[in-house]
Structure formats: C-alpha cells, structure tokens
Amino acid sequence: MASNIKPYSTHLPINHQKVNISYLSPEQLDRLTDCFLNYYEEIERYRKARGRLWVVYLFLRYTGARLNEVLHINDTTDIDFRNSEVRIITLKQRKKSLRIVPIHTKAISELMIYLSQYPNMKGKIFTLTGRAFQLAFKTVCQRAKIPQQLSHPHILRHTRAIELLRSGVPVTIVQDLLGHSSLNTTAIYLRMSSQEAKMILKDRGLI
C-alpha cells in the first residue's frame, strides 16, 4: 500500500520478489555535498588527505560508478581534462571492459585545484582503500543528517541513475554510463512509487 512506501525508494517485482532501490532526494544530495566540502576545508592540516576523499566523492556523485571502479581510476591516464571525460573499467562483468563517462566540470575543476596545491599527489589521487572512503562517507552523512540506511557510497550510484532518468536521459544511455550488462538492471530505476509520481506531477503543474 502507498502508506507503507518510503519517500525515496522505488520498487519493482522481479521473479516474484520485490527489489528495493533507495536513493537520496535532491535536497539530501545537496546537503551531503555541502557537508563533504566543509569536511574537506575545515582543518588546514587535514586538507591534503581529505582532498582525495572529496575528489573521490565528486567522481562517485557525477559518474554513478561503483566505488571500486572509481578507486581504480588513474588520474594520469584515465581522465580527459579538456573534454571532461573519464575512462572507467567496468568491474562487475564476466569480462572486464572500458566505458567512457562524461563527468561534470565541477569534478574536473576540483581535481585540478587539488593537484595544483599538491602536485606530488599526481597519479595517487584515487589510490585509497574502500574502507577509508566508507568511514569518511559515514562521518559526513551523519553531519548531513542522512538516514543511516542511506549512508553508504553505493547510494550515490542509485541517486545518479534516478537523476539521469528523471532528466530525460534515455535508459539505454544510462545503461552504458552505469556499466550495466543488462537493460533489465537499469529498468529497475524506472519504477517509482505512486507517492513519488504524484509529487512529480504536482511539481510540474500537471495535477
């Protein structure tokens, strides 16, 4: 029933099972980004270390890639700074493949600023452990008052998928950007609760 559906979850029955995809609202995402930037900038002696976390966060937020995929990026060979594109190894397939993902200029700019401040970090930006990023992400989520069940890096992948589809990006393009081997996986994000559909219709003046 609609009363039992959480505000920011989408449900799709597959093989008689209900798949629950959670994601951040635009307000939550903006708040999280602001808090992550503050986390990076607040203490001078931590900026070098936290700057890497900030860049990883932006690449997760704007590519929709998996955490381990972002942590495999080589900033000296995989990023086209002029065209704002990043080459990502798709890891969750039987055979590894490469995909080219356009990325927001904000992520590229922040990476360039960081490298200008710490040039000795060139080639090392993304060489973090997943555990290190997960701990920082959880800390920032607490500051941003993100619910605990949404306080994991993979939430950014779900959120990006929803953001792209709601902006009118064709599902086949979203599939390619996210590195899904099957269109059925991407199609999960197309289903919304009746409550969410009503909110969108109201926002657009359609009801």
Stated pTM of the model? 0.84
- pLDDT (0 to 100) of residue 3: 33
- pLDDT (0 to 100) of residue 168: 85
- pLDDT (0 to 100) of residue 194: 54
Instruction: State the catalytic residue, choosing from 50, 52, 160, 180.
Output: 180
The enclosing domain of 7 has a CATH number of 1.10.443.10
- pLDDT (0 to 100) of residue 142: 98
Whether 8 is catalytic: no
Instruction: State the catalytic residue, choosing from 48, 92, 124, 145.
Output: 92
Give me the domain span that covers residue 14: 2-203
Whether 202 is catalytic: no
Instruction: State the catalytic residue, choosing from 50, 66, 158, 160.
Output: 66
Question: Taking the CB of residue 74, how many other CB atoms lie within 10 A of it?
Answer: 14
Whether 104 is catalytic: no
On average, the pLDDT of the chain sits at 87
Whether 47 is catalytic: no
Low-confidence spans in the chain with pLDDT less than 50: 1-7, 10-17, 193
Q: How many domains in the chain?
A: 1
Phi, psi of 59 (to 5 degrees): -70, -35
Distance (Å, whole) CA 26 – CA 16: 31
- pLDDT (0 to 100) of residue 158: 94
Are the C-beta atoms of residues 70 and 59 closer than 8 Å to each other? yes
- pLDDT (0 to 100) of residue 185: 77
